[in-house]
Amino acid sequence: MAQAIAWPQKTREMQSHHFDSTIWNDFKFRDDDIVIATWAKSGTTWTQQIVAQLLFGPDKDRAVAEMSPWLDIRVPPKAVKLPVVEAQTHRRFLKTHLPVDALVFSPKAKYIYIGRDGRDVVWSLYNHHVNANDLWYQALNDTPGRVGPPIGKPAATVRECWREWMDGDGHPFWPFWENVRTWWAIRHLPNVLMIHFAEMKRDMPGQMRRIGKFIGATIDESNWDQMVEQCSFEWMKKNATKSTPLGGAFWDGGAETFVHKGVNGRWCDTLTAEECAEYEARAVKELGPECAHWLKTGELAV
């Protein structure tokens, strides 16, 4: 007799300058919803673009950021956001940066989790934070509903940012290790797909087909080359206003700052061998050797 699946349960709320996880308590799932999850700066926007292409085909004018909102960011507030999401008539694909235990989990929705080496995350995050403008700080710190301290300016250098992130577990954003750990723990569920930034870089068309199969998308092969093109980093950088929240208004340099370099390994010339060893030992301690290896390489044991 098949064993009943123990579906994840929500056990806590996360509320901060960025988060209001209570929105999930009021969200009405549809059976075909798709949830795209990462810690942050791990290929979220890229995956949203891929899912949009798979579901709806190529369209250079599609406003993916509007179609696929970050549900648990606290601005705009849930009273504004929820009616907009509930009014969507297309197949919905939503974004979250929460750990599993701060979500309401649907057994029928599809969940895609994207991993990325934490060192690559920090280098991308530094660009995100150092180029954030006054509008970004005002939205996160000065609008009603913030819980906890405000988010401050970034460290002066990426090395200092790295040290703060390591010592403060994702500081000044939110905990990193628990996010990865909670999603890794449910990787075998039938409605969860684990993908990795490095694998997407190595074989984007292959990963697109893997995602398409998982979400049950019917691919029009006559559009395939155009779909792949519109998911390339070069195309997304050139057309970044469509895939970036508010068209990039929160960052100096606009949307092309948000869609920055899309490469790994920029930390290699900055971190010492000792610092890399520290990170890798921390990853094993926090995640276990199998998950730490996946997070570093994208190699996932069957």
Tell which wins on pLDDT, 63 or 92: 92
Q: How many angstroms separate the Cα of 250 from the Cα of each of 21, 235, 254?
A: 22, 21, 7
- Tell me if 54 sits within 8 A of 211, measured CB to CB: yes
Whether a cis peptide bond, with omega within 30° of 0, leads into 76 is: yes
Residues sharing a CB contact under 8 Å with residue 224, sequence separation 6 or more, in sequence order:
none
Q: What per-residue string of b and e applies to 99-110 under the rule 16 or more CB within 10 Å gives b? A: bbbbbebbeebb
Q: Three-state DSSP class for 23?
A: helix
Per-residue model confidence as pLDDT tens digits over 154-165:
999 999 999 999
What is the overall mean pLDDT for the chain?
92
Q: Where are the alpha helices (DSSP H) in the chain?
A: 23-26, 44-56, 64-67, 78-86, 118-130, 134-137, 158-167, 177-184, 197-202, 204-215, 224-230, 233-238, 255-258, 273-287, 289-297
pLDDT higher than 60, residue 259: no
Three-state SS for 13?
A: coil
Sequence-distant (≥ 6) Cβ neighbours of residue 2 within 8 angstroms: none
pLDDT at residue 293 greater than cutoff 70: yes
Bigger pLDDT: 2 vs 192: 192
Please give the angle made by the CA atoms of 65, 20 and 248, to the nearest 5 degrees: 30
Which residue shows structure tokens 């929705």?
109
Whether residue 243 has pLDDT greater than 90? no
* pLDDT, position 262: 60
Residue 225 has pLDDT above 70, yes or no: yes
The rounded distance, in Å, linking the Cα atoms of 156 and 196 is 29
d(CA 25, CA 278) in angstroms, rounded, equals: 38
What average pLDDT score do residues 74-92 get? 97
Q: State whether residue 164 is helix, strand or coil.
A: helix
* pLDDT, mean of residues 57-63: 90
pLDDT (tens digit, 9 = 90+) per residue, 96-153? 999 999 999 999 999 999 999 999 999 999 988 999 999 999 999 999 999 999 999 9
Backbone angles phi, psi at 10, to 5 degrees: -75, 130
pTM: 0.93
